[in-house]
């Protein structure tokens, strides 16, 4: 993976904001929304919202079966979206991209098809302590069913994967190695190409959780050489309801279907059936046609901005945010200190003030952040934390959002310092 930040045409985030109708709203004090929770789900540009509207107004029809014009148009746009997404991640063929609902479904698909077929009693599956629950629980379910073993790469105190520990685990030749390209809790950018190379040398199949990377930096599956990559459209300006499982074609071809039903079959008898080719084999039933089309439009929007420029914009914002946040009394930032080794996420605690209290006071300032364990309970435990407050940045965030965040955090300190009960945070 390329960890350097190449020079790109800088993003004009202030102008980009104008493309996002939701950001034009102000609160009752006329303050605009400082939306700092894109790691949970991004906002949508007008082009995506209009694509959904256009679909339902002009060519709503089921796909792959109608012989009339509306259905052909819907089918064409759905398949065009697949091509757009495939090009965006550098896939060799659009057939390697299966439309699913989200990252979670993509990973469950791999566990329940590739996993069920290939994991046997006593086999080892290697994941990481940093993984989102959606790359932990599907493998727990499989390991229980198959009596397989799970092991997890440790994290260092500054929130990076311990690659020496990975090497120790790889000596046991795991069947699968799965890890997050970028941590949604800490923002850590993991050396995905290097991990994949080492895992392949040990004979493992590699699954990368790209939920936080594909939206935020250039991702090329051929350069990564991963076997599977899972990501969600809703975190990259697209609608909720459409995500992608990328898989190398020879692996997808060899996998049994996930769900049975219409669209995924070649021929059905009463007691047995044969399967359609990939990706249709994994797309049983009516898919989220409009959402997939909207996903394609989102990808076009991001491609036009340029993913190098997106990466550069976020690295700068996060660098500035980290510098400014470190001046807030009592504030501790988690994860790598070098902004080029992280993505647009800053996770922190403020003294002993509960992260939910911090987030609630920030909300009162029209600054939207996330508080909690961010679906990474094992990671929180490993770092000795219960929860953090997380600010996450994207293409529409500006230095003004950082100012608003910092000012609101000073306000949190003020409120807690002067609590009449005296049980507040001591700066
Ligand atoms: N993995 C990571 C790293 C994530 O950040 C998320 C979403 N927070 C997921 C997986 C799950 O994504 P989804 O809810 O879209 O399935």
* pLDDT number for residue 118: 98
Which CATH code for domain 13-43+306-425? 3.90.1150.10
Task: Outline which parts of the chain fall under CATH 3.90.1150.10.
Answer: 13-43+306-425
Mean pLDDT of the chain: 95
- The answer, yes or no, to whether residue 424 has pLDDT greater than 50, is no
Tokens of residue 360, six digits = 């609630």
- The answer, yes or no, to whether residue 244 has pLDDT greater than 80, is yes
Q: CA-CA distance, 89 to 110, in Å (whole number)?
A: 19
Segment among 3-7, 221-225, 271-275, 317-321 with least mean pLDDT: 3-7
* pLDDT number for residue 92: 97
| Phi/psi of residue 174, nearest 5 degrees | -65, 150
Active site residues: 375
Long-range contacts of 194-203 (CB under 8 A, 24+ apart): 194/1, 194/163, 195/161, 195/163, 195/166, 196/224, 196/225, 196/226, 197/225, 198/163, 198/166, 198/167, 198/170, 199/126, 199/170, 199/174, 200/225, 201/170, 202/170, 202/171, 202/173, 202/174, 202/177, 203/173
Sorted by sequence, the CB contacts under 8 Å of residue 15 that are 6+ apart come out as none
| Phi/psi of residue 244, nearest 5 degrees | -135, 140
Kindly report whether the peptide bond that precedes residue 247 is cis, defined as omega within 30 degrees of 0. no
pLDDT tens digits, 57-114: 999 999 997 789 999 999 999 999 999 999 999 999 999 999 999 999 999 999 999 9
Tokens of residue 296, six digits = 């394609």
* pLDDT number for residue 9: 84
The response to whether residue 212 sits with its C-beta less than 6 Å from ligand 1 reads: yes
Q: CA-CA distance, 384 to 379, in Å (whole number)?
A: 9
CA nearest neighbour of 130 among 186, 200, 170 = 186
Ligand 1: atom nearest CA of 182 is 3
Q: How many CA atoms lie within 13 A of 242 on its CB side?
A: 28
Q: E strand or H helix at 193, and its extent?
A: helix 192-201
Q: Are strands 243-247 and 265-268 parallel, antiparallel or unpaired?
A: unpaired
Residue 154 near residue 179 (C-beta atoms within 8 A): no
Question: In the predicted model, what is the mean pLDDT of residues 214-242?
Answer: 98
* pLDDT number for residue 398: 97
The response to whether residue 102 sits with its C-beta less than 6 Å from ligand 1 reads: yes
Q: CA-CA distance, 267 to 416, in Å (whole number)?
A: 67
- The answer, yes or no, to whether residue 240 has pLDDT greater than 90, is yes
* pLDDT number for residue 5: 43
Q: How confident is the model at residue 418 (pLDDT cuts 50, 70, 90)?
A: low
Site to probe by mutation for ligand 1, drawn from 211, 215, 371 as the one with most ligand atoms within 8 Å of Cβ, is 211
Q: CA-CA distance, 354 to 358, in Å (whole number)?
A: 6
- The answer, yes or no, to whether residue 426 has pLDDT greater than 60, is no
Segment among 75-89, 308-322, 408-422 with least mean pLDDT: 408-422
Question: In the predicted model, what is the mean pLDDT of residues 172-199?
Answer: 98
Chain length of the chain: 427
* pLDDT number for residue 419: 56
Tell how far the Cα of 317 is from the centroid of ligand 1, in angstroms: 22
The response to whether residue 188 sits with its C-beta less than 6 Å from ligand 1 reads: no
Tell how far the Cα of 113 is from the centroid of ligand 1, in angstroms: 20
Task: Outline which parts of the chain fall under CATH 3.40.640.10.
Answer: 51-304
pLDDT tens digits, 328-348: 999 999 999 998 899 999 999
The response to whether residue 283 sits with its C-beta less than 6 Å from ligand 1 reads: no
The response to whether residue 103 sits with its C-beta less than 6 Å from ligand 1 reads: yes
- The answer, yes or no, to whether residue 421 has pLDDT greater than 80, is no
- The answer, yes or no, to whether residue 2 has pLDDT greater than 70, is no
CA nearest neighbour of 181 among 170, 192, 193, 194 = 192
Which CATH code for domain 51-304? 3.40.640.10
Site to probe by mutation for ligand 1, drawn from 108, 128, 184 as the one with most ligand atoms within 8 Å of Cβ, is 184
Question: In the predicted model, what is the mean pLDDT of residues 352-379?
Answer: 97
Share of the chain above pLDDT 90, in %: 94
pLDDT tens digits, 245-297: 999 999 999 999 999 999 999 999 999 999 999 999 999 999 999 999 999 99
């Amino acid at each position: 993976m390329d960890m350097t930040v190449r020079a790109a045409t800088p993003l004009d985030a202030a102008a980009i904001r104008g493309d996002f109708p939701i950001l034009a709203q102000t609160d009752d004090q006329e303050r605009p929304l400082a939306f700092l929770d894109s790691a949970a789900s991004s906002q949508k540009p007008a082009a995506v919202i209009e694509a959904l509207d256009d679909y339902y107004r002009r060519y709503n029809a089921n796909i792959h079966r109608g012989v009339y014009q509306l259905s052909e148009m819907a089918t064409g746009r759905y398949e065009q979206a697949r091509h757009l997404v495939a090009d965006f991640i550098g896939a060799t063929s659009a057939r390697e991209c299966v439309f699913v609902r989200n990252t979670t479904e993509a990973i469950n698909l791999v566990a329940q098809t590739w996993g069920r077929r290939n994991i046997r009693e006593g086999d080892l599956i290697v994941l990481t302590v940093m993984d989102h629950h959606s790359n932990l629980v599907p493998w727990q379910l499989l390991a229980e069913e198959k009596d397989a073993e799970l092991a997890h790469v440790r994290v260092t105190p500054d929130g990076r994967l311990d690659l020496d520990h990975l090497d120790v685990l790889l000596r046991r030749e795991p069947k699968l190695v799965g890890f997050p390209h970028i941590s949604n809790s800490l923002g850590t950018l993991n050396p995905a190409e290097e991990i994949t190379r080492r895992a392949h040398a040990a004979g493992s199949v590699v699954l990368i959780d790209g939920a936080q990377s594909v939206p935020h930096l250039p991702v090329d599956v051929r350069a990564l050489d991963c076997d599977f990559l899972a990501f969600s459209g809703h975190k990259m300006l697209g609608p909720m309801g459409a995500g992608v499982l990328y898989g190398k074609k020879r692996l997808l071809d060899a996998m049994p279907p996930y769900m049975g039903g219409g669209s995924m079959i070649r021929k059905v008898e009463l007691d047995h059936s044969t399967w359609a080719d990939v990706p249709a084999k994994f797309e049983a039933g009516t898919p989220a046609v409009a959402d997939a089309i909207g996903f394609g439009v989102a990808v076009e929007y991001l491609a036009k901005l340029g993913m190098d420029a997106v990466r550069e914009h976020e690295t700068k914002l996060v660098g500035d945010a980290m510098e400014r946040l470190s001046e807030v009394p009592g504030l501790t930032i988690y994860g790598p200190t070098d902004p080029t080794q992280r993505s647009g996420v800053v996770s922190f605690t403020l003294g002993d003030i509960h992260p939910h209290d911090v987030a609630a006071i920030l909300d009162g300032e029209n600054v939207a952040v996330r508080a909690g364990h961010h679906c990474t309970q094992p990671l929180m435990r490993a770092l000795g934390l219960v929860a953090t407050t997380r600010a996450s940045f994207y293409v529409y965030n500006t230095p003004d959002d950082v100012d608003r965040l910092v000012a609101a955090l000073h306000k949190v300190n003020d409120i807690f310092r002067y609590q009449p009960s005296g049980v507040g945070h001591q700066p």
